[in-house]
Amino acid sequence: MKSFKGYFKNICLVSFLPLLIFDKTLALIHDDVVMKENIRKVYQNEQQYLKARVSNDLHLLYSFQHPEYKNIISLEKFLTTGGYPKLDYFSVTEQNQKPQVYIQFRQFHFILHDIKIEKSFIDKDGRYAKFHIIHIMDIFLPIARGIPIRREMKSIDYWEKLDGNWFILNKVRLDPFAHISGAITKNPTAFPEEDADYIEILAGEIDNEKKDGE
């Protein structure tokens, strides 16, 4: 009788094993589809956001700002300061939980020609995304006597997904510490979006998703 029960148990396990594998495969496929749909949406937002920065469309730039950002910085403030305000979370203390508004003024005149996406990432939880971007511009330095100097400046845009919508995280961010030896040390204070576990999505995969979704 014991051998029969054992045999019956093995038969059941063998019978249900394909179903378990099938369910797990479906779950993995679903997660992959959701992740690609997320990166497709935020990628489109990033493209619109970069175009708005090049054309200086301040109203469109403001529409992508995080709800917390909009609660602190009004559209009027955003427009009158040329779209430069950032939230300085390093200013937050126990007495003052509200981040201060930081406005970085231009040290020199420049003409922004284009901004290109270099790399695209999304975190495994689908909450954050980031884009490595390249600013192509002409910089006018006093030492150059009015002759523009072409430069490519790199930066990172971070996005957060809230209630199905993606918003830019416009914060003051510290640069990594550079040692005399040339080694780089990360800042002791990092934001959640900076510490997220990201996966790089190649541009070709995003383009294919866009074509399939059109």
Q: What would the two tokens of residue 174 be? A: 């510290």
pLDDT over 50 (residue 27): no
Q: Please tell me the predicted confidence (pLDDT) of residue 209.
A: 55
User: Which range, 32-41, 94-103, 117-126, is most confident?
Assistant: 117-126
Residues in a beta bridge with 138? 111, 150
pLDDT digits (tens, 9 = 90+) for 34-68: 777 888 999 999 999 999 999 999 999 999 999 99
182: left (phi over 0), alpha (psi -120 to 50) or beta: left
| 153-172: burial string, b at 16+ Cβ within 10 Å, e else | eeeebbbbbeeeebbbbbbb
- CA distances for 126 relative to 29, 32, 94, 118, 198, angstroms: 15, 11, 31, 20, 9
Every domain of the chain and the residues it spans: 2-213
Mean pLDDT value across residues 150-161: 94
Q: How far is Cα 31 from Cα 122, in angstroms, rounded to an integer?
A: 13
Q: How far apart are CA 27 and CA 22, in angstroms?
A: 9
151 has pLDDT over 60: yes
Q: Where are the beta strands (DSSP E) in 34-148?
A: 85-88, 100-103, 109-123, 128-140
Tell me the C-alpha distance between 211 and 214, whole Å.
5
Percent of the chain with pLDDT strictly greater than 70:
72
For helices 203-213 and 2-55, what crossing angle results, to 10°? Answer: 90
* Position with higher pLDDT, 25 vs 73: 73
